[in-house]
Amino acid sequence: MHTTRRTLIAAAAVGTTLVRAQDDSIPILDSHFHLYDQTRPQGAPYPFTPNQPPFLARDYPATAKPLGIVGGIEVECSPWVEDNLWVLMQIQNEPMIVGTVGNIDPAHCDFQEFLERYHRNKLFLGIRYGNVWKTQDLVTAINKPEVIENIKVFAQTGLTFEVANPRVDLIEATLRLSDKVPDLRIVLGHLQALPLPTDPRGLKSYSNTLKELRKRRAFAKVSGLLKANPQASFDPAVYKPMLDFIWDIFGDDYVVYSGRNREALEILKGYTMARGRSAAEKYFWKNSIAAFKWVRRTANQLQLA
């Protein structure tokens, strides 16, 4: 991977100049992508637009390696419990993919049976729950004793509980869940996608909630940079306030990377390299090990000493 003019511009916008040797030597772990195949006999609930070409495990390396990505974590895009097995079968022969964050609904009466079935597979890293699917709602589920009991059992497995998609009420519910299940390891998915409250009181309340979650060792996944106008180019200055907000709360130790957009990646490289090489290494791969407990499958997937 070479340093482009856009990379230098992005770096300058956050007050630093990238050093090529440092930039190129940092491996990247992409902690969020989806696998799907609408051509299956049963179809697929995602993508939401019909007649999309399949994206399978064998397709992932070609989209990731050119960006310097050495490994990836698949994240569920189906509420169908059988699709956990479909994904595991997909990724077992693609060592670039280090695992999956699946979907088992803790409000389901058979949750513990399904959990027992899947959690013993080393490629099954956790579950995602929140409000992605209409039938799954953490905000209301945390008031049900049976759900809390199931999540307590889940926490004992050491797997990761990822929460998405970000809304203020979901973040607040996640804090209440942490009160009830204090040993639960939490990742806040797509956190940068939630616009900051414009009301000062709302912003303070949101910030305080995130600070409490950070004290409980929750991770923030910064999984891409949204553009208000799809035709516009990425402007590093647009994203700096949000990135500053997240890093001021979570610091260098509790942020994880995901994404395969080159322009966004270059901005995020510039931002983290401005904080120092150690900060960039933590964001791009080291923190993902603590967040998801993945195990290397190839020689270029580094592990902590």
- Of 127, 51, 63, the residue nearest 94 (C-alpha): 63
Per the prediction, the chain carries an average pLDDT of 92
Q: Above 80 in pLDDT, residue 229?
A: no
Q: How far apart are CA 133 and CA 131, in angstroms?
A: 5
Residues of the chain with pLDDT > 90, as a percent, come to 86
- Which pair of tokens denotes residue 42? 């049963």
pLDDT tens string 194-219: 999 999 999 999 999 999 999 999 99
Task: Give the end-to-end CA distance of the chain in Å, rounded to a whole number.
Answer: 26
Rounded average pLDDT over 183-202: 96
Pick the CATH number of 5-292 from 3.40.30.10, 1.10.760.10, 3.20.20.140, 1.20.1630.10: 3.20.20.140
Element (H, E) at 264: helix 262-274
Would you state the pLDDT for residue 24?
61
Rounded average pLDDT over 216-242: 88
Write the single-letter amino acid at 185: R
Which residue stretches of 72-199 are H helix? 82-91, 111-118, 138-141, 145-156, 168-180
Give CA angle at 162 (158, 165), nearest 5°: 170
- Of 45, 60, 62, the residue nearest 103 (C-alpha): 45
**Which residues neighbour 26 within 8 Å (Cβ) at sequence distance 6 or greater?**
68, 277, 280, 281, 284, 285
Q: How far apart are CA 31 and CA 45, in angstroms?
A: 21
- Which pair of tokens denotes residue 261? 């957009």
**Cα–Cα distance list, 176 to 139, 144, 208, 213, 241 (Å):** 9, 12, 13, 10, 27
Rounded average pLDDT over 271-293: 97
In the structure, what pLDDT confidence band is assigned to residue 304 with cuts at 50, 70 and 90?
confident
DSSP structure class, residue 228:
S
Rounded average pLDDT over 40-68: 97
In the structure, what pLDDT confidence band is assigned to residue 232 with cuts at 50, 70 and 90?
confident
Rounded average pLDDT over 9-24: 44
